[in-house]
Amino acid sequence: MKCLNNRADSHLTGQVECELNSVGKGGWVNQGYCGSPPPLPRAVSTIYNPQPLYQSSMDSMYKLDTLGPFSQPPEDLPSAEQSLVKKPRGCCSFVKGLWGTTLTENTSNNRELFVRTTIRELLIYVVFLVDICLLTYGMTSSSTYYYTKAMTDLFVNAAGAGGVSFQSIGTMSDFWTYTQGPLLDGLYWTKWYNNQSLDNGDQSFIYYENMLLGVPRVRQIKIKNNSCKIHKDFQNEITGCFDVYNEKKEDDLSFGLINGTAWTYHTEKELNGSAYWGLLATYTGAGYYQDLSRTKEESAAMLTELADNLWLDRGTRAVFIDFSTYNANINLFCVIRLVVEFLATGGAIPSYQIRTVRLIRYITHWDYFILGCEMVFCVFILYYIVEEILELRIHKLSYFNSIWNILDIVVILLALVAIIFNIFRTIKVDQLLDSLLVNPDIYADFEFLAFWQTQYNNMNAVNLFFAWIKVFKYISFNKTMNQLSSTLGRCAKDIMGFAIMFFIVFFAYAQLGYLLFGTEVQSFSTFVKCIFTQFRIILGDFDFDAIDRANRVLGPIYFVTYVFFVFFVLLNMFLAIINDTYSEVKEELSSQNDELHITDIIKQSYMKTFMKLKLKKEKISDVQKALRSGSGEIEFKDFRETLKEMGHSDQEISAAFSRFDRDKNQILDEEEQERMKIELKEKKDALSAELNNLGMNYEKELLEKPPAASNQQNNNSSQTFVDCDEFVRLSRQVLHLESSVAGITSKIELIMEELGLQVKTKGKEAAGKLSNHEPASDGSVLVCVDRGTKAEMSSRRPVVRNNSTFDSHM
């Protein structure tokens, strides 16, 4: 007995240790609990609050125990049974409940557990998805588009007195005409439309609403002379050579008047600039710059001086006009960059970039609501980080075999970058605005922040896209939803083989089109444009006349053969592969047995809750009948016999009677009976209301469902339908059987415990007699081993051991 007790004690100590600390290889290790799973609590069933051994997750939704004053277990129960009612919890059971997923629990052989766990994951993820949607859409506004459109119409599309707009700039002369006309007129608004002053001093409000921040800046990048090599036959006639833009050939020498920033080269670091990706090349943030003034007259004089002294020459490759505005009505910044690229061939190509961003975040009540959503978002990201760590620790490298796990990591990484940038942006904007308010006559460089804010918005858009795609992870267990993923997974190899053949033909035609039409057709002017143009031809968007004009013979041949091979042959082969695989997958899924789906779980939980309520209501009716059957005072034995005939267990009857027998005399007087009737009526009315909320017609609709519909759902299983009364009777018998078994089990365990105590007592007596060299009372022979360790070597009579007690701990 001593040895067995030591084993039991050591095992109880081991239950405290968490399995998360030791993960075995080669087998599934449930990381959700500490030690061995505890035995299921044996809930005590009463007349008013029956609790079956199996409780669904939907039971807690309705909180049935709060309907009456009978939620506590009876006081007269043995202490051992009261202790069994409490469910042991530990650190790892908390982890299992909070981070339990289909990858941290062994759901391979338990379809119902898999569906329930997936539903719980989906509900948590829906809350996360709502939160990230609020964050993403809370940072944008429909006013952003109209703000951008207003600035585009004013500075890009508007034409001056000479008819030159920014989009029509084709020469250096056109550029100066635009800057001294539409540009200055758009930048400086100091009067109303009736020439009345705005009374804002020298501060400009574009369209009367958008404040010009600081002063505009004009910057150019030049290329060195003789940066290209002239053929010897033209060296006498051509004295200067300016190559296409290249950073290594960028000119850094002072020129012209040499007495200002417009004539002196400044590095990218000195200007705190950044590179710009233009239509022809990628330009650095260095160059020669001129900051304009806060008044229109002074700025016009500066531009005239630059034009008169040939600030732009043959070496100029790009001119940038940068300025920023702020609209307090909608709390948006508009950072505008107008770019004119001068080609080595002569002429100019204008382009522009307008970024409308929200740099100041928290002003209105809605902004602070978004701040709260951001905090919730951070909590969710921390939650999912812990979840992925647990899953990675369990599955090791096999964790990366699932595309959904990789998608989880991508979403988390993007979210972490977004959080870090959000903090950086808030600090940087405050510093920039502080310096601008101290000296409003300097150039307000919001280009850097606007660029990264745009990338931040793009990253959030991609992250939201991935977050929506991840929903398929939680709904793919359904047969219908599984068809898409199964089809793509099965035909992946065929599609890869087809893709090789397709792109060989596709890129062959792209090179052919580039070489045939690249010199005349804009959509074929570069190889990249050829690729996109051919995709557009597949979709029916093409300009056949331009191809025909470029080459009257090879143009039609190229077009007809491309459409035939790519559109009619290859594209239809691609569709045939997917269609054939889809048909196979659909046929296989239709022939399989229906597994447990989410709708089945909801129906089962709904029906269990419905039947439990109905059985409780019937038991209350039985107690009311027992009360009405008696006259005057009711003794416990009469009360017990009446309810026993109706099928109630002794435990339920004792709990009901002792609840109202205040004086404990085993007799219910008239006052106690009246109080019992009142509480029974209140309980019954509450249950009736609950049944009405659940829907009384659900049971009828379920039972009236034609057998053919059920057979269609499960072709390989036979089902027997019973009427409602028979189903209620069977359910009631099952619950009574469970309560009876629970009572018998508790009594058996108590008997086994008493036997164990007796055996332990005999062992102590035998040990005492052994120390006195006396034979044991039962005739057993005891031998002393290893200095006092006593072991029973043989016995005439077997010792009864409490196997159930030890088995629960071993």
Burial of 453 (0-12, 13-18, 19+ CB in 10 A): buried
Identity at 454, one-letter amino acid code:
T
Please, what is the Cα angle at 407 between 403 and 409, to 5 degrees?
120
- 262, 323 in Cβ contact below 8 A? no
What's the CA gap between 542 and 503, in Å, rounded? 20
What's the CA gap between 784 and 799, in Å, rounded? 19
What are the residues whose beta carbons fall under 8 Å from the beta carbon of 338, sequence distance 6 or more?
Answer: 155, 156, 166, 183, 320, 321, 322, 350, 352
What's the CA gap between 263 and 252, in Å, rounded? 10
Same domain for 164 and 291?
A: yes
The CATH number for 551's domain is 1.10.287
- pLDDT: which is higher, 289 or 705: 289
Closest CA to 498 of 567, 573, 581: 573
Q: Which range marks the domain in which residue 568 is found?
A: 486-591
* DSSP letter (8 states) at residue 159: B
pLDDT of residue 790: 38
Same domain for 350 and 380?
A: no
Is residue 644 a part of any domain in this protein? yes
What's the CA gap between 421 and 460, in Å, rounded? 11
Same domain for 763 and 706?
A: no
Which tens digits make up the pLDDT trace of 104-130? 777 667 767 777 777 888 888 999 999
- 559, 547 in Cβ contact below 8 A? yes
What's the CA gap between 206 and 498, in Å, rounded? 56
Q: How far is CA 50 from CA 43, 59, 69, 642, in A?
A: 9, 12, 13, 19
Q: How many domains does the chain have?
A: 5
Is residue 468 a part of any domain in this protein? no
User: Under DSSP, is residue 101 helix (H, G, I), strand (E, B) or coil?
Assistant: coil
- 623, 74 in Cβ contact below 8 A? no
H/E segment holding residue 502: helix 492-517
Residue 326, strand partner residues: 211, 333
What's the CA gap between 439 and 436, in Å, rounded? 5
Res. 603 pLDDT band, cuts 50 70 90: low
Which tens digits make up the pLDDT trace of 494-528? 999 999 999 999 999 999 999 999 989 989 988 99
Is residue 293 a part of any domain in this protein? yes
Q: Hey, what are 315's tokens?
A: 């070496």
- 365, 356 in Cβ contact below 8 A? no
CA 4 to chain centre: 51
- 563, 537 in Cβ contact below 8 A? yes
Q: Range with the lowest mean pLDDT among 223-237, 365-379, 675-689? A: 675-689
Same domain for 51 and 192?
A: no
Q: How far is CA 453 from CA 9, 139, 358, in A?
A: 62, 11, 8
Res. 168 pLDDT band, cuts 50 70 90: very high
If you count them, how many residues does the chain have? 810
pLDDT of residue 339: 96
Annotated binding residue at 663? yes
pLDDT of residue 753: 76
Q: How far is CA 710 from CA 587, 591, 702, 715, 750, in A?
A: 19, 15, 11, 8, 47
Which tens digits make up the pLDDT trace of 749-782? 778 777 877 777 776 666 555 555 444 444 444 3
Burial of 134 (0-12, 13-18, 19+ CB in 10 A): middle
| Rg of the chain (C-alpha set) | 42
Which tens digits make up the pLDDT trace of 302-352? 999 999 999 999 999 999 999 999 999 999 999 999 999 999 988 999 999
pLDDT of residue 184: 93
β-pair type (205-206, 210-222)? antiparallel
Res. 301 pLDDT band, cuts 50 70 90: very high
pLDDT of residue 529: 92
Same domain for 574 and 710?
A: no
- 538, 566 in Cβ contact below 8 A? yes
Same domain for 672 and 735?
A: yes
Residue range 391-408: mean pLDDT, rounded: 86
DSSP string, 721-768: ---HHHHHHHHHHHHHHHHHHHHHHHHHHHHHHHHHHHHHHHHHHHHH
pLDDT of residue 488: 80
751, 772, 799 — which closes off a domain?
A: 751
pLDDT of residue 13: 39
Q: Hey, what are 436's tokens?
A: 């601008």
The CATH number for 77's domain is 1.10.238.10
Q: Hey, what are 69's tokens?
A: 């004053």
Is residue 470 a part of any domain in this protein? no
554, 576, 591 — which closes off a domain?
A: 591
Residue range 174-186: mean pLDDT, rounded: 93
- The pLDDT of residue 179 is above 60: yes
Q: pTM here?
A: 0.62
Residue 287, strand partner residues: 266
How many CB atoms are closer than 10 A to CB 496?
A: 9
- The pLDDT of residue 30 is above 60: no
Is residue 14 a part of any domain in this protein? no
Largest CA distance in the chain: 135
Same domain for 284 and 334?
A: yes
Question: Using DSSP, how many helices (H) and how many strands (E) does the chain show?
Answer: 28, 12
Q: Hey, what are 105's tokens?
A: 């629990």
Q: Please give the mean pLDDT across all residues of the chain.
A: 75
Is residue 112 a part of any domain in this protein? yes
Same domain for 158 and 288?
A: yes
Same domain for 179 and 313?
A: yes
Backbone angles phi, psi at 34, to 5 degrees: -95, 125
* DSSP letter (8 states) at residue 205: E
Same domain for 505 and 518?
A: yes
Q: Range with the lowest mean pLDDT among 189-203, 259-273, 543-557, 558-572? A: 189-203
Annotated binding residue at 672? yes
Is residue 523 a part of any domain in this protein? yes
Is residue 19 a part of any domain in this protein? no
* DSSP letter (8 states) at residue 43: P
Same domain for 199 and 303?
A: yes
Which tens digits make up the pLDDT trace of 37-62? 344 333 333 344 443 333 333 343 33
What are the residues whose beta carbons fall under 8 Å from the beta carbon of 218, sequence distance 6 or more?
Answer: 179, 262, 289, 290, 292, 303, 306, 319, 320, 321
722, 751, 780 — which closes off a domain?
A: 751
Same domain for 161 and 263?
A: yes
- The pLDDT of residue 793 is above 50: no
- The pLDDT of residue 256 is above 90: no
